[in-house]
Amino acid sequence: MDSSIFREYDIRGIYDQNLTQDIVFTIGVLLGEHIKQNGSTSIFIGYDARTHSPQLYEWLKAGLFQSGIMVYFIGMIPTPVAYFATYNTIDGVSSPNSIMITGSHNPPQYNGFKITIARKPFYGKDIKDLGEKLAQNLRTYVPAPIQDHPINALKAYKDYLIEHFPNLKNFPYPIALDYGNGVGALGLEDVLDALHIPHHALFETPDGSFPNHHPDPSEEKNLTQLKSYLKSHAIPIGLAFDGDADRIALLTANHDYKGDELAILFAKNLSENGISPLVIGEVKCSQIMYDTIDKIGKSVMYKTGHSNLKIKLKELNAHLAAEMSGHMFFNDRYFGYDDAIYAGLRALELFLKQTPKELEATIESLPALYCTPEEKVPASEENKFIIIEKLHEILKNPPSDFPKILQIISIDGVRVIFEDGWGLVRASNTTPVLVTRFEAKDKPTADFYKKQLLELIEKIKNLLY
């Protein structure tokens, strides 16, 4: 068994290589036992457009059946629909549990499971414990002698969105959407039609081979076709989605909005509606976001990761949370999970008060800082967390020529606050890399902080390898 499939936020691997029939079946058995321990006996399951998702569903369903769990099949759907199902009674059926079979934005050969138990993400220690149990007791696949129990959660989800966004009817601007051949169009196209929002869809047909581009809107190269379409058709607003539609990108003619910038815009909108916003960001978010939101409400810095932010959002009863990668979580007017389709509609609401140019001006009016893109430093699964620990120790008593440190934040990795900016180094919870980001008053200063921190990392790596 390959233990690397049991990750921090989900279970993810390569179909029929480390996600084999017996392993997926056993995952179903063990999850079924866990669900019953939580006092439940049912679950919703849906999947994305990957070619092997239906087969994984059959294997997983069989394992759940072995543990006496009733499986309600909700079909090919965006991931947020699986979350939505746990908060609503659909076709007379309710369950607080769901599994979404999805590889998210990974390459086509990948797949996996995003799991919700008792309306909470199943992650971290729970996933690690499940992996350890599976290693000790791998079961042999037994087909499930049951028929599917289909539930139309997708229709209920779309009906909900249509009912809750009447203010978007006859939206004043045309928009373009890049679905990346993921499943986002299944949840949004009918809603846009019902609300009479003029729109143009790119790559709306689900295709698990992703023939047009990789379905990850946080990568600049994957937005090229949408940007070209906006320009050539004089369309002022664009939305892009990842493969399972839980991450979003917003574009206007002259700007691509990062996750922390969206958080600022949403927080300002809440403030204009008389709400003092409480907003949770992650350690990669710009200091500008925290400072700006603190002027109109309160911001909280927390760990990276959609599961972490969902838990913290509920704990603090915050209005929203944001991740740089485009996961947006709304507790205000919604259920508190990451939903790119819902976030897209909330983004369109911003243009009811401001034109696209005025929205760009809002971001341009913020203090000017230079931010590096997220960069990755290779580090083995065994050593990446050790490197972070050793870096933290060194920074307590740094070299004499190291820039002055004002504060070290160790919520998630090491975020070092310098006099004119900050640098972040954290261990990725999903891949064998260290993730870095730097921000400062100008590019030379950011590059200097980057050079200093990366040199320390290389010294640590040389001692370990």
**Residues involved in catalysis:** 12, 104, 327
Phi/psi of residue 447, each to 5°?
-65, -35
Residue pair 38/126 in contact (Cβ under 8 Å)? The answer is: no
Per-residue buried b or exposed e for 226-236, using 16+ beta carbons within 10 Å of the residue's own CB: bbebbeeeebb
Residue pair 371/288 in contact (Cβ under 8 Å)? The answer is: no
427 CB contacts (<8 Å, ≥6 apart)? 379, 384, 385, 387, 388, 413, 434, 435
Q: State how far the Cα of 418 lies from the Cα of 200, in Å rounded to an integer.
A: 45
Per-residue buried b or exposed e for 179-200, using 16+ beta carbons within 10 Å of the residue's own CB: bbbbbbbbbbbbbbebbebebe
**Token reading at 304:** 């990276």
One-letter amino acid of 95:
S
One-letter amino acid of 78:
P
SS3 content of the chain, % helix, strand, coil (to 5): 40, 25, 40
Of the candidates 410, 266, 248, 251, the one whose C-alpha atom is nearest the C-alpha of residue 324 is 248
Q: State how far the Cα of 457 lies from the Cα of 463, in Å rounded to an integer.
A: 10
Q: State how far the Cα of 299 lies from the Cα of 286, in Å rounded to an integer.
A: 12
